[in-house]
Amino acid sequence: MEVVILPGIRQIAALAADAVESLLRRKPDAVLGLATGSSPLPVYDELARRHERGGLDFSRAYGFTLDEYVGLEPGHPESYSEVIRRDFTSRVNFDPQNVRGPDGNAEDIPAACRAYEDAIRARGGVDLQLLGLGTDGHIGFNEPGSSLASRTRIKSLIEQTRRDNARFFRSLDEVPHHVVTQGLGTILDSRHAVLVATGAQKAQAVHDLVEGPVAAICPASVLQLHPHASILVDEAAASSLKLADYYRHTHDHKPAWQGL
């Protein structure tokens, strides 16, 4: 796991976009794992900019989103399939056919979750998984208590997460209680995990993820078991890290050829 502490979200977005860009140049039909929430937005802005100005090409890429609410009608503006389309894939030349998310409206949710896992596997797995971080340490919608080996499945949201996400809805009552999410085991299978977290409200979760024990109480801590995880944080989100100076020193002295 590499922790990179940067002054602000612009530098974080540029570094995450560099990782996506070098992957796409190496492998034009790469599989991207796409996250929602506000944290990855500046990364999507930067990728859209590089597409417009530098011709960064997504035409052969594939996208799998992390999670979805259960029961929002198709096309609901806050369903994650709409959010990803609006915030990212429609702003670059992603083929809409190549973007898929878990189905929150399936009649048989367990079967749809299995089919989603099969679809990811059939594409050869996720090359680069973008992640945000919930204030309670969730990634995707894997709330505390999630099995560290879990696969795509239905979950119940914790009230804190519903309150955090109510800002996107007209009221808290409209925030669904159930979601489908890639599991922690699914996320662990990605070849490179890039997590973005900013702001003091994420400091405790960042500490638990990086320096706490690997434990279901902080689902993101499973990334300590990931062979290639990059944790990109600003100073405020890094403020509870014990080894912050060491992470800074390591990043500052990293050989230039190494990349993220």
Catalytically annotated residues: 67, 136, 138, 143
- Binding residues for ligand GLP, per CB under 6 A? 35-39, 66-67, 132-134, 140-141, 161, 165
To which H or E segment does residue 64 belong?
Answer: strand 62-65
How far apart (Å, rounded) are the C-alpha atoms in residues 213 and 224?
9
Report, in Å, the least distance between residue 258 CB and ligand GLP: 26
Report, in Å, the least distance between residue 22 CB and ligand GLP: 24
How far apart (Å, rounded) are the C-alpha atoms in residues 195 and 175?
24
Radius of gyration of the chain (CA): 17
Give which of 173, 139, 133, 177 is closest to 155, Cα–Cα.
177
Q: Specify the residue, 93 or 224, whose C-beta has the smaller distance to ligand GLP.
A: 224
Give which of 158, 152, 148 is closest to 103, Cα–Cα.
152
Residues 6+ apart with CB under 8 A from 67: 36, 80, 101, 102, 140, 141, 179, 180, 181, 182
Q: Specify the residue, 56 or 220, whose C-beta has the smaller distance to ligand GLP.
A: 220
Report, in Å, the least distance between residue 90 CB and ligand GLP: 19
How far apart (Å, rounded) are the C-alpha atoms in residues 132 and 95?
24
Report, in Å, the least distance between residue 38 CB and ligand GLP: 3
DSSP-based three-state secondary structure for 31: strand
Contact 122, 151 (CB under 8 A): no
Structure tokens at 185: 């085991």
Report, in Å, the least distance between residue 39 CB and ligand GLP: 3
